[in-house]
Amino acid sequence: MAIPHSHYFLLVYLTLLFSSSLLSASAASSPQDEQDTPITRFQSYLRINTAHPHPDYSSAVSFLTSQANSIHGIHHRTLEFSPGKPVFLLTWPGSHPSLPSLLFNSHLDSVPAEPSKWLHPPFDAVRTSDGKIYARGAQDDKCIGMQYIEAIRNLRERNFTPARTIHVCYVPDEEIGGFDGAARFVDSKEFEELNVGFMLDEGQASPGDEFRVFYADRSPWEVKIKAIGPPGHGSTMYDNSAMENLINSCEVVSRFRESQFDVVKSGKAANSQVISVNPVYIKAGVPSPTGFVMNVQPSEAEAGFDLRLPPTADPDEMRRRIALEWAPPTRNMSFEIKEKGPLRDNMGRPMMTPTDDSNPWWLVFEKAITSAGGRLAKPEILASTTDSKYLRRKGIPVLGFSPMTNTPILLHEHNEHLQDTVYMRGIKIYESVISSLSSFTH
């Protein structure tokens, strides 16, 4: 039977499609993936879609409950400070329960993913033949959530007994600010009762051989400046129009931005150690059906900036600069600052966890990494922000740490993935960190 040309191509196409999907299915799920191993358990956790705007927290908590139940002697409970936003807490009681406890934190949620931009579907947790596990959350931060559990499982199996009580918590909504998650948890009676002495939270991957560690976060400020002025005919030039005032301010902001950026470019400071300023919008003009009216000078103009302040910055000085230089009333300007997090703790100190001899937790942590065969890079300020701020604000020391070396930084990006061997090494690193910190009794 003769096949018309167009049908022939369709047939070839379908055959190719069918055989290629068979091939990718066999590559994606080899027999080892069906066994219950640390890697398959990690994949199972990654397959639960906890991306915003509709994170499936209840499935994540059921999965973590089953994991906690599979380890003898580990307690767990689910707290809820906002409806539908659970905090899952796992506890391994220490032999000296009066000592301040340790807390290991991770967040349940993740940012959304655009599946069409990914090599593998972002919630399939495909493990490629060369050992890369692709999933939203593979680096940020479901890896650490599962590594904590696996490390505890291994330590339990070796009959390790912690002196200090160990808590592991899984909080909702970190990616949208943590207001209904860590913020409420940390302010609760339940948190107070944990008597936390030290916390480890998420960090970031390191493209090199050294583990990165973070002793502070930067605090985001949303700054809007607005100019008003007389509207007018487009044929006349006059002083103090809204657009003229806004543009003058944008030049002032731009010079400040350059002064900060120059410090980074000259190598005198890391990006996260300066005040970063990025313009995000400019709003002005009188709309017309085809765009904007071109012969009217607008009476209002507004611009928005995303600022990130390290804890070393002086917030009063920055507020003064914005009020007097960026949006001076003498140029008919006003401003609004939304400070998205604190820069000072409850005692008024800059929110930084010491990474020197003055902090005994630091010394034990550093030694635990070395004795597990790892090396720490020079401690850094995190360029962005995490839930750590809620504990640092209370004066509790927190380090940000995710044990991923030789790994591209892919958090929030397309094709987020983690190498299986890097994941497995991270479990060993946490075994050392958890056993050392929980044995330290001074």
Residues that are catalytic: 109, 174
Q: Evaluate the omega torsion of the peptide bond into residue 207 and state whether it is cis, within 30 degrees of 0.
A: no
Number of H helices and E strands in the chain, helices first, is: 12, 19
Binding-site residue set for Zn(2+): 107, 140, 175, 202, 412
Instruction: Work out how close the CB of 380 gets to Zn ion at its nearest, in angstroms, rounded to a whole number.
Output: 16
Would you say 47 and 135 are in contact if contact means Cβ atoms under 8 Å apart? yes
- Are 241 and 296 in contact by the 8 Å Cβ rule? The answer is no
Dist CA 159 CA 286 (whole Å): 72
Q: Which is nearer to Zn ion, 105 or 297 (CB)?
A: 105
The H or E element spanning position 23 is helix 5-28
Question: What is the spatial distance between Cα 191 and Cα 182, in angstroms, rounded to a whole number?
Answer: 10
In the complex, the residues that contact Zn ion under the rule CB under 5 A are 140-141, 202
Residue 399 backbone zone (phi > 0: left; psi -120 to 50: alpha; other: beta): beta
Task: Determine the Cα–Cα distance for residues 415 and 175; give it in Å rounded to an integer.
Answer: 18
Minimum separation from the CB atom of position 34 to Zn ion (A):
29
Sequence-distant (≥ 6) Cβ neighbours of residue 330 within 8 angstroms:
none
> Which residue lies nearer to Zn ion by CB, 145 or 197?
145
Cβ distance to Zn ion smaller for residue 175 or 345: 175
Of 360 and 408, nearer to Zn ion (C-beta) is 408
Task: Work out how close the CB of 174 gets to Zn ion at its nearest, in angstroms, rounded to a whole number.
Answer: 6
As measured in angstroms, the least distance from the Cβ of 111 to Zn ion is 9
Question: Crossing angle, helix 360-371 and helix 420-439, to 10 degrees?
Answer: 140
**Beta carbon of residue 256, minimum distance to Zn ion (angstroms, whole number):** 29
Closest CA to 136 of 122, 147, 146, 126: 122
The smaller minimum CB distance to Zn ion, of residues 140 and 180, is found at 140
Compute the least distance from the CB of residue 331 to Zn ion, in Å. 41
Q: What gap in Å lies between CA 407 and CA 271, rounded to an integer?
A: 20
CA distance 30 to 206: 29
The pair of structure tokens assigned to 274 is 């300066």
Tokens of 285: 């003009």
Determine contact, residues 274/258, Cβ cutoff 8 Å.
Answer: no
List the one residue out of 145, 141, 143 whose CA is nearest residue 174. Answer: 141
Q: Please report, in range form, the residues annotated as the binding site.
A: 107, 140, 175, 202, 412
Cβ nearer to Zn ion, comparing 298 with 400? 400
